[in-house]
Structure 1
Amino acid sequence: MTKILATRPVLPSLDVKVSLKFWEEAFGCKTWLYEDGKFGGVQRDGFEFYYFFTDRKEVCEWTSCRIDVEDVDGFHAMAKAAGCVHPNGDIDTKPWGYREFAVLDPFGVLATFGADLERN
């Protein structure tokens, strides 16, 4: 049987070093930087994604990703402490049984953290 093993989004950033630092400080992620600061990666607990440099702010603001987690309330507490919870994306349980909240990185990329309550 063929099987997808992982996905690794590639997200835009106006300053890759700043974006990586955000994930290190807010969520304790491991990060690395390549290509004279124009490309880097973020990793924690089996999830991984990358940033590439762009000079177009609107590209950042039009980009989003979802991150499924085990302890969504624990991640929400980390995001609150870091001051990065989206003003319209505080934690909430949706009618379809998904508990989630949203954060914005320094350049407007939206990341939604969530947990399927029926699976957890």
Structure 2
Amino acid sequence: MLKDIHPKLPMRDNGVTRWFYLNQLGFNVFGNADFDSYLMMEKDQIQIHFFEFRVLDPKESYRQVNIRTDNIEAFYNSLLEKGTPIHPNEPLETKAWEQKEFSILDPDHNLLTFGQAI
């Protein structure tokens, strides 16, 4: 019965979040982009929604999203070409649970882990 999920993550600044997801990750704005306190971004078959949380302390973040892909190498290389910072403790590597994964932190320290089954 369940068929889709759209995580909702906090953001301190709509413009900063929008720029990062557009320019560093290759997402597009979804829906109405005229809300300062809410933002919807999409890429391929996924959406991530953001709500304004101006007093957010990014150093106290435990938010994580796992995103699956069918071409992790190409996506990883496209991020490197754009200069997108890869999490220093989570470079592209094969994990014991038979996933090839890497992670990044967005401007609000939401951890995005991208993975592909091997």
Q: Same fold per TM (> 0.5)?
A: yes
Following TM superposition, by how much is the alpha carbon of 1:103 offset from its aligned partner in structure 2, in angstroms? Answer: 0.6
Equivalent position of 1:92 in the other structure: 93
Change (3 A) 1:27 1:83: closer
Moved more, 73-82 or 102-111: 73-82
Q: CA deviation at 1:61?
A: 2.2
The size of the alignment, in residue pairs, is 114
* Residue in structure 2 matched with residue 16 of structure 1 by the alignment: 14
Which range moves more in the overlay, 69-78 or 79-88? 79-88
Give the unaligned 5+ runs of structure 1. none
CA distance in structure 1 between the partners assigned to 2:62 and 2:69 by the alignment: 23
TM-score by length of 2: 0.87
Cα distance in structure 1, aligned partners of 2:61 and 2:114: 17
Name segments (4+ residues, structure 1) moved above 6 Å. Answer: none
Q: Which has the higher helix share?
A: 1
Alignment partners' CA distance in 2, 1:109 and 1:34 = 23
CA-atom RMSD, angstroms?
Answer: 1.7
Partner of 1:107: 108
Identical-residue share of aligned pairs (%): 23
The alignment partner of 1:100 has SS state of strand
What is the identity, as a one-letter code, of the residue corresponding to 2:101?
A: E
Q: Could you tell me which amino acid in structure 1 is paired with residue 20 of structure 2?
A: F
Relative to the length of structure 1, the TM-score reads 0.86
